A and B are shown apart, each in its own frame.
Chain A
Amino acid sequence: MIKSLRDLEHIKNSRLPDIRLRTGNVGSNDTLHVLVCTGTGCTSSESRALIEEMVKQLKSRDLQHRVKVFKTGCFGFCKMGPIVMVHPGEIFYCLVEKEDVDELIESHFINGNVVERLLYQDERSHGVAYRRSDINFFRAQNRVVLRNCGLINPEDIGEYIAMDGYFALADVLVNKQPGEVIDIISASGLRGRGGGGFPVGRKWAIAAAARGDVKYVVCNADEGDPGAFMDRSILEGDPHSVLEAMTIAGYCIGAQRGYIYVRAEYPIAVDRLEIAIDEARDNGLLGRNIFGTDFHFDIDLRLGAGAFVCGEETALLRSAMGRRGEPRPRPPYPAECGLWGKPTLLNNVETFANIPLILRYGADWFASMGTEGSKGTKVFSLAGKVNNTGLIEVPMGTSIRTIVFDIGGGIPENREFKAVQTGGPSGGCIPVEHIDTPIDYESLKEKGSMMGSGGLIVMDETDCMVDIARFYLHFSQDESCGQCTPCRVGTKRMLEILERITKGEGTMEDLETLEELGEEIKDASLCGLGMAAPNPVLSTLRYFRDEYIAHIRDKKCPAGVCRALLDYAIDEEKCVSCGICAKACTVNAIRGEQKGRPYFIDRQKCLKCGACLARCPKEAIYTG
């Protein structure tokens, strides 16, 4: 049980040597630490089987005391997973398979020779990177919130404490008044990382001032934006940072109970949170009389069940009470009337993860990063048509170009960069002409998009912007809770128009109707989902109107995506008449003789499903 700052320091000092080995602050020591990523990406790439194999083989060679294997959270470089990092030396191995374990042990762990073939190969410089810091993907980043992800074992509270974990909480409870803490948060300039960017200090002050003897702290971990996974990685890699921050928040506003509302689709995150909460309780960091003070606080989980609208705060609170997640008009805001009608402070995962750092290193340190209006760093999940997909953290104000080309390594197959989509279904697309835009709350809004929670989807010349707009609108339409007419009916009408356009049946008047309807839905909807639903359509209409016009006037999809506007044909030169395409076709639209002349596609029968194109071994089938 930890009852005082001294207890905490005692644990820190006993665990620090281990961690020092990993942070590069220790000289020659015979011990090796092998960190294996067990985030969702690497787990999907079989990292657990890898750990089992490694532990088994180390044991059979009686090396388990000298070479220690640890599970860690996400390193961020998901595409190259499973990732294995060996300390000392921060040797960074990529795409490691079970079959590689023997060689790793014999060559590296026993004889000290790094296995070069498993190192990261930079495609552009053709060089090999030994250390993580040699890799471009990491070089331009500033990992502050993610500092512990890929460093500590998220299922071991001792390692979090060794990295100064829970010291901010101890300091706050023992030495500071709630008002002082809120002042520090306000001075740091931290804004909500969940989307809107509301100043966090102000939110805390409102909740602290709200009258009521029972209050709640809620963490929004319902990361619903498709293409966003930073909250998931924080929960999986550093769950205690969120627990510590929520406890601090509880002290500041006068709450004794916190809830984390987390998506059921994130089983690993749920598991790690449950372990972390148990560990915190066992150590007296949650529960009664924390650090020997008269402050009590405990945290429970509430699981979502698959509804995007539950990311909206009033809907989330209803869902956390076990009801249908339908939003309600504001005011009253949750800070005054939230969970069970009591004042409730609601922040998202990444917002909370910043809090212990601000209190530990000071508001000035935090405010020294970022831009005038947007302080600190931001975690983005970089995905789509970019070479280095994964999780990144950069100071606010970093340009899209730096993110896509320096960190992301550019577009695969040397295709043209077309746009980057931010803010998910509530955001918009930013085209190539604004590639030097520094990313912060204001600049994104100005360009017709928004920060959202931090998904960055890169698109290239083979992505049709009309289809992307249709995709997002279909999403919002499907997820509309149906309470208010503008969202329920309006998005449906917009979707019908977009579907017509992608089939080549649109008219030029449709474009004006889309814009008018979009503006009306934005004005009249009940909650954020409806108010933001037209954004992907309006932003693509603003920057890619030509593409809409090509669909309407020329009946062509310039990117070659919209099926109804494509014709499939077989290149007679390339066809070897193997017959695979004819077998793949479910409507017998492809005919030919087994050996002899090239096959051909009957356009009348063709459903344009593309099954033949996917199967052809000679790439003889093309669209036009």
Chain B
Amino acid sequence: MRGIDEQQERYAALDRVIENYAGEEGQLIRILQGAQEIFGYLPEEVQAYIAGKLGLPVSEVNGVVTFYSLFTTEPKGEYTINVCTGTACYVQGAQDILDDLRRTLKLTGGDTTEDGLFTVKSTRCVGACGLAPVLTVNDEVHGKFTRRDVSRLIRMYKKRSEVKAGDQISERPGTYQEQSPAGH
């Protein structure tokens, strides 16, 4: 019963996050961010669990979750493509890129492909306006993007997903990785 073990591990990880921050006042958002990193999204059970642990009404936790756009209550695809629709990107054609992506991935209603590989969303300015138009795939930023790059991008990540499945590497997307400083 591997699935149950995994779920238990996730809750154990969540407990550690809660323990880490529960002593400080007003850290609900940090805890929810941690929970989303662990579970990939914030289903009702997780919200209720956090509320119980912190002694808050579930409604308050849910109110916070639904207020902020970085929280999601739906599971996301393996790769989340966020097309920046800040002004600089918008005037350089970000809307067309977003439309092309959705069309190429055959997204009509929801934001996630049927195979669970891609989620396509628009995002507020990522602050890389000098490279507009910009999109991010998980935490990788692709600048000076054009409509012609759309199919190449999708092919690239499809291939990466296949390679990863082959290698059985459990690299977790959505985690920011910074290199250690050079020159020391």
Chain A residues packing against B (C-beta within 8 Å): 36, 40-41, 43-45, 48, 51-52, 54-55, 68-71, 77-79, 81, 153, 155-156, 223-229, 232, 264-268, 271, 302-308, 319-326, 340, 381, 383-385, 389-391, 421, 424, 455, 457, 459, 463, 468, 471-472, 481, 586, 609-611, 614-615
A44 contacts B32, CB within 8 Å? no
B86 contacts A44, CB within 8 Å? no
B181 contacts A323, CB within 8 Å? no
B28 contacts A323, CB within 8 Å? yes
Identify which of A51, A70, A306, A459 gathers the most chain B CB atoms within 10 Å of its CB.
A306
Chain B residues packing against A (C-beta within 8 Å): 25-30, 32-33, 60, 63-64, 67-71, 85-88, 90-92, 96, 99-100, 103, 123-132, 134, 139, 141-143, 146-148, 176, 178-179, 181-183
B71 contacts A227, CB within 8 Å? no
B127 contacts A40, CB within 8 Å? yes
Identify which of B30, B63, B143 gathers the most chain A CB atoms within 10 Å of its CB.
B143
Report the Cα distance A389→B140, complex, angstroms.
21
Closest chain A residue to B134, Cβ basis? A44
Closest chain A residue to B65, Cβ basis? A305
On whether A383 and B88 interact (CB within 8 A), knowing A305-B32, A323-B64, the answer reads yes
Residue in B96, B123, B178, B182 whose beta carbon sits within 8 Å of that of A69 in the complex: B182
Min CB distance B138 to A, Å, is 11
Q: Which residues of A contact B33 (CB under 8 A)?
A: 264, 303, 305
B131 contacts A41, CB within 8 Å? yes
Q: Which residues of A contact B143 (CB under 8 A)?
A: 41, 44-45
| Listed A/B pairs (9) with beta-carbon separation below 8 Å | A45-B131, A153-B183, A227-B125, A228-B127, A264-B70, A304-B68, A308-B124, A322-B64, A389-B88
Min CB distance A112 to B, Å, is 21
B127 contacts A614, CB within 8 Å? no
Identify which of B25, B26, B88, B147 gathers the most chain A CB atoms within 10 Å of its CB.
B88
B141 contacts A381, CB within 8 Å? no
A227 contacts B87, CB within 8 Å? yes
The 3 closest A-B CB pairs, nearest first, are A78-B130, A226-B86, A305-B68
A321 contacts B26, CB within 8 Å? yes
B129 contacts A381, CB within 8 Å? yes
Q: Which residues of B contact A271 (CB under 8 A)?
A: 176, 178
Q: Which residues of B contact A229 (CB under 8 A)?
A: 125, 127-130
Report the Cα distance A319→B131, complex, angstroms.
30
Q: Which residues of A contact B126 (CB under 8 A)?
A: 40, 265
Q: A308-B124, A609-B103 are in contact. List 8 more A-B contacts (CB 8 A).
A: A40-B128, A71-B181, A78-B129, A78-B130, A267-B139, A306-B69, A424-B87, A614-B148
Identify which of A224, A265, A609 gathers the most chain B CB atoms within 10 Å of its CB.
A265
A457 contacts B91, CB within 8 Å? yes
Closest chain B residue to A307, Cβ basis? B68
B29 contacts A383, CB within 8 Å? no
Min CB distance B39 to A, Å, is 16
Report the Cα distance A45→B71, complex, angstroms.
28
On whether A305 and B183 interact (CB within 8 A), knowing A265-B127, A384-B88, A455-B87, the answer reads no
A41 contacts B128, CB within 8 Å? yes
Residue in B29, B90, B103, B148 whose beta carbon sits within 8 Å of that of A319 in the complex: B29
B91 contacts A615, CB within 8 Å? no
Min CB distance A446 to B, Å, is 22
Report the Cα distance A481→B63, complex, angstroms.
12
Closest chain B residue to A611, Cβ basis? B100
Report the Cα distance A77→B129, complex, angstroms.
11
Q: Which residues of B contact A40 (CB under 8 A)?
A: 126-128, 141
Q: Which residues of A contact B132 (CB under 8 A)?
A: 383-384, 389
Identify which of A44, A45, A51 gathers the most chain B CB atoms within 10 Å of its CB.
A44
B88 contacts A227, CB within 8 Å? yes
Residue in B92, B103, B125, B141 whose beta carbon sits within 8 Å of that of A43 in the complex: B141
Report the Cα distance A71→B176, complex, angstroms.
18
Closest chain A residue to B27, Cβ basis? A322
Identify which of B68, B100, B143, B183 gathers the most chain A CB atoms within 10 Å of its CB.
B183
A383 contacts B130, CB within 8 Å? yes
Report the Cα distance A207→B174, complex, angstroms.
40
Q: Which residues of B contact A70 (CB under 8 A)?
A: 182-183
A51 contacts B182, CB within 8 Å? yes
On whether A225 and B179 interact (CB within 8 A), knowing A40-B141, A41-B131, A78-B130, the answer reads no
Report the Cα distance A326→B64, complex, angstroms.
10
Min CB distance A309 to B, Å, is 9
On whether A44 and B123 interact (CB within 8 A), knowing A305-B29, A325-B67, the answer reads no
Report the Cα distance A282→B143, complex, angstroms.
37
Q: Which residues of A contact B69 (CB under 8 A)?
A: 305-307
Closest chain A residue to B139, Cβ basis? A267
Q: Which residues of A contact B130 (CB under 8 A)?
A: 41, 77-79, 81, 229, 381, 383, 389-391
Min CB distance B155 to A, Å, is 16
Q: Which residues of A contact B183 (CB under 8 A)?
A: 55, 68-71, 153
Closest chain A residue to B140, Cβ basis? A44
Report the Cα distance A381→B89, complex, angstroms.
13
Q: Which residues of B contact A302 (CB under 8 A)?
A: 26, 29-30
On whether A52 and B64 interact (CB within 8 A), knowing A226-B86, A305-B70, A322-B26, the answer reads no
Residue in A77, A78, A228, A322 whose beta carbon sits within 8 Å of that of B125 in the complex: A228
Report the Cα distance A323→B60, complex, angstroms.
8
Closest chain B residue to A55, Cβ basis? B182
Q: Which residues of B contact A155 (CB under 8 A)?
A: 181
Report the Cα distance A484→B127, complex, angstroms.
30
Min CB distance B126 to A, Å, is 6
B131 contacts A457, CB within 8 Å? no
Min CB distance A316 to B, Å, is 12
Closest chain B residue to A225, Cβ basis? B125
Min CB distance A619 to B, Å, is 13
B182 contacts A471, CB within 8 Å? no
Q: Which residues of B contact A455 (CB under 8 A)?
A: 87-88, 129
Report the Cα distance A198→B136, complex, angstroms.
36
A615 contacts B148, CB within 8 Å? yes
Q: Which residues of B contact A381 (CB under 8 A)?
A: 129-130
